Chain A
Amino acid sequence: MDALIEFGRGPLFRFAVAIALLGISRHAILSVIGFIRLRARVGDKRLAYGAIALNTLRRLNPLKYLVSSRWYYTVLSVAFHVGLILVPIFYLGHIRLWRSGLGFGWPALPGPVADVLSLITIVSAMLLLAARAWWKESRAISKAQDWLLPPLIAIAFLSGYLLAHPAQNPFDFSITMFVHVWVGDLLLLITPFTKIVHCTLLPFSQLVAEMAWRMVPGAGRDAVKTLGKEGQAI
């Protein structure tokens, strides 16, 4: 077990971080390159970058989504994401690990804050899952990853919380550590290939939406040529 934990904390972790970082960077770079290439081809090149940036911020503002019949979904989603983003990066135990590997660290969240955020993430992940199962609309459009990711994230956070509070941990320390490390690694590994990738694509969404109706002149006709259907009557 110890060897597995060490492997998970060492080579596998480094590999998982590399995959996650390379994967999300690839998406970010392709989003930028794709945009530059597309802009050169579209007919209408005028773009109000300021307005797009403002729109991006507006869309990221969760308050915008509170005035809807699904306001509770927004509350849950925000609660879920705050801990999800902050705890893995700013939890003291994680920073120590980073420091030992990278040689530098950064300020940590106070322990009780990290605890509360972790618990909120765990509870909201489970409530989001319950909501997905409850609403027939969400059920109808859900795929495997939509069902699997919230429990996986909850397990990673719960095991982390129990490791930080050994007195409350009913499980064996090594098993808890194994689960925490390996589930954490798994989440990093699948980041670029699942919907978690929205962490890097979301800032591009309004730019992409802005390009959604920017036609390339002649595209329809060129497609018809490729299909060998030129000259066909309408």
Chain B
Amino acid sequence: MRPVKNIKIKYHQEPSPPMNRPQKFLEAFAAMLKHSHYGYILDHFARIGTKCARCAVACPVHEATGRPEDIPCYRSELLLRVYRRHFTLEGRLQARIFGAPPLSDEDIDTMAEAFYRCTACRRCNFECPMGIDHGMITHLGRHILSEIGVVPKALHVSVREQLAGKTGNTSAIPLPALLDTLSFLEEELREQFNKEIKFPVDVEGAEYVFFAPVSDYLLEPDTLMGQAAVFFATGDSWTIGTGNYDGINYGLFYNDRFLEDIIKRELAEVRRLKGKKILIGECGHASRAAKVFVPAYGGEDAPPVINIIEYTCQAMESGKVRLRPDVIKERVTYHDPCNIARSGWIVDQPRKILRSFIKDFVEMEPHGCNNYCCGGGSGTVSVDEIRAFRTSIGGAKKAEQLRATGAQYVVAPCANCKKQLREVIEDHKLDMEVIGLHDLVLKAIAL
């Protein structure tokens, strides 16, 4: 790939009132090391790096720009250096003897840019022989920055609305509007299938409490109708809770305390409804956040978490859902959202579903666990100010992959990937359409 001209990104809010940022940064870092698990991890990562630069070949951002600053190890070193210099005995001694400069204001700016250029896709993780998780370092770097007020406005505003706003969700959809949308969708389904397919609301004791990425209620009616159609076919009990209907968890992208609060709100809703399982809709980060952090924050009796693709795949394999193979004639490809694919959790299931009814299914190379990020991962997709960066740098590799497939549809089972890929397609002038997995299921399901 030819290097793309770099675009500098500057989009975060500054601390208000102004403060001594380096000092505050170090205080926040120290507080996190004291209370969290990060000290143990950083201590290992700070000592083990051999600076082999293998990670450089894995990172789509570096591949696009070719800038040394975009090498995962280079980026991680920004934070590891602060850790060594200020929080280890050797580092403090070395600084005394050799006079290493302390953390500066400029360092903070460098980190702020670096940690939001990284999409925390964790692809580089596979390439590091030492096992350094650069995505985690990005995550921690963002957390500390956010504690001194350096955070993208888009993420901040969404989380504030979700945790402290009137609507309690990131798209600020009031409950009456949600209920209207649901009855509209039920009407649509009635017209399409001539059947009473419901979006159950506040059903106590349901097997599945459903959390879609809330923006789906505004933007992805077909995805939602496809999911409702699957439940109609299986007959399982499911419900949407009126107390909390948003699966999005932007805490995962910048601050652990919000990550925890959002998970606890999800758990509270499931407990209020006496539901048995948490079911997350088509959304990568919402699924990973729930899968990984419900057990972390939910105590011993935390409910199991499953993703809608897992559910539909099981339903199809058990014969409860039938998909007609003659409906979709176009060429289809599948984009793996990093947050559900990197760990290998959801890689085979969507392919089983798609291959069962799509004749012309093609893969991007590489795909699955080793996929390339859409370029809008870790919440950067919601930062509109950096669209040019996201599509021409972060998404450059993805655009190349998409073009090579010659597909008409790219299936992206994730609200964030959908938005980003639509912008990538538009900006790279590709001739294809982004679609949800359940949008295709909706077209093909036999009821």
Q: Which residues of A contact B (CB under 8 A)?
A: 27, 30-31, 34-35, 37-38, 41-44, 46, 59, 65, 68-70, 73, 77, 135-143, 146, 193, 195, 197-198, 201-202, 204-206, 208-209, 211-224, 226-227, 229, 233-234
C-alpha gap A202/B164 in the complex (Å) = 44
List the A side residues contacting B54 at CB < 8 Å. Answer: 65, 68, 70, 73
Instruction: Please tell me which one of the listed residues A69, A195, A221 contacts residue B49 in the complex, with CB atoms under 8 A apart.
Output: A195
16 residue pairs of the A-B complex, CB under 8 angstroms, read: A34-B40, A41-B37, A46-B295, A65-B129, A136-B68, A137-B53, A137-B56, A141-B73, A141-B74, A195-B47, A195-B49, A208-B44, A208-B45, A209-B125, A211-B37, A214-B296
Chain B interface (Cβ < 8 Å from any Cβ of A) = 27-28, 31-32, 34-37, 40-41, 43-45, 47-54, 56-57, 62, 68-69, 71, 73-74, 77, 90, 125, 127, 129-133, 136, 143, 147, 156, 159-160, 163-164, 255-260, 292-293, 295-299
Contact of B260 among A37, A195, A220 (CB under 8 A): A220
Q: How many A-B residue pairs have CB under 8 A?
A: 169
Task: Judge whether B48 and A193 touch: CB under 8 Å.
Answer: no
Other 14 A-B pairs with CB < 8 A, given A220-B257, A234-B164: A34-B43, A43-B296, A43-B297, A65-B127, A68-B57, A77-B52, A140-B69, A197-B48, A205-B130, A213-B136, A217-B260, A220-B258, A221-B257, A233-B160
Chain A residues lying within 8 Å of B257, measured Cβ to Cβ, are 220-221, 223-224
Chain A interface mostly? helix
Q: Is the CB of A201 within 8 A of B36?
A: no
Give the residues in chain B near A31, CB-CB below 8 Å: 44
Name the residue on A nearest B264 (C-beta): A217
CB distance from B355 to the nearest CB of A (A): 25
Q: How far is the CB of B118 from chain A (nearest CB, A)?
A: 15
B129–A201 CB distance below 8 A: no
Instruction: Flag if A223 contacts B35 (CB, 8 Å).
Output: yes
Are B44 and A73 in touch, CB under 8 angstroms?
Answer: no
Check if A227 sits within 8 Å of B28, measured CB to CB.
yes
CA distance A53 to B18 in the complex (A): 48
User: Which residues does chain A contribute within 8 Å of B45, judged by CB atoms?
Assistant: 208
**B44/A195 in contact, CB under 8 A:** no
A42 touches B37 (CB 8 A): yes
Contact of B71 among A37, A70, A137 (CB under 8 A): A137
Instruction: State whether A216 touches B37 (Cβ < 8 A).
Output: yes
Most buried by B among A41, A68, A70, A139: A70
**CB within 8 Å for A211 and B40 given contacts A137-B71, A223-B31:** yes
B52 contact set on A, CB distance < 8 A: 73, 77, 138
Residues on B with beta carbons closer than 8 Å to the beta carbon of A197:
47-48
A139 to B51, CA, bound (A): 9
Given contacts A68-B57, A77-B52, A227-B27, contact A215 B297 (CB under 8 A): yes
Q: Is the interface of B mostly helix, strand, loop or mixed?
A: helix
**B77 and A141 form a contact (CB under 8 A):** yes
Q: How far is the CB of B77 from chain A (nearest CB, A)?
A: 7
Cα separation A193 to B88 with both chains bound (whole Å): 12
A139 to B67, CA, bound (A): 12
Measured CB to CB, the closest approach of chain B to A216, in angstroms, equals 5
Per CB-CB distance, the 4 closest pairs between chain A and chain B, nearest first, are A220-B257, A140-B68, A205-B131, A43-B296
Question: Are A219 and B296 in contact, CB atoms less than 8 angstroms apart?
Answer: no
How many Å lie between the Cα of A110 and that of B149 in the bound state? 64
**A227–B31 touching, CB < 8 Å:** yes
Please give the distance in Å from B25's CB to the nearest CB on chain A: 11
Q: Which residue of A lies closest to B163 (CB)?
A: A234
A198–B229 Cα distance when bound, in Å, is 53
Q: A216-B35, A216-B36 are in contact. Are A143 and B296 (CB under 8 A)?
A: no
Q: Tell me which residues across on chain B come within 8 A of A30, comparing CB atoms.
A: 43
Query: Hey, which chain B residues are within 8 Å of A206, CB to CB?
Result: 131
Q: In the bound complex, do residue A213 and residue B34 qualify as a contact, i.e. CB atoms below 8 Å apart?
A: no
- A219 and B37 form a contact (CB under 8 A): yes
Contact indicator A213/B292 (Cβ below 8 Å): yes
Complex CA distance for A143 and B34, rounded to whole angstroms? 29
Residues in B with CB closer than 8 Å to A212 are 41, 133, 136
Residues of A within 8 A of B49 (CB): 195
Partner of A220, one of B40, B77, B255: B255
Contacts of B147 in A (CB 8 A): 223-224, 227, 229
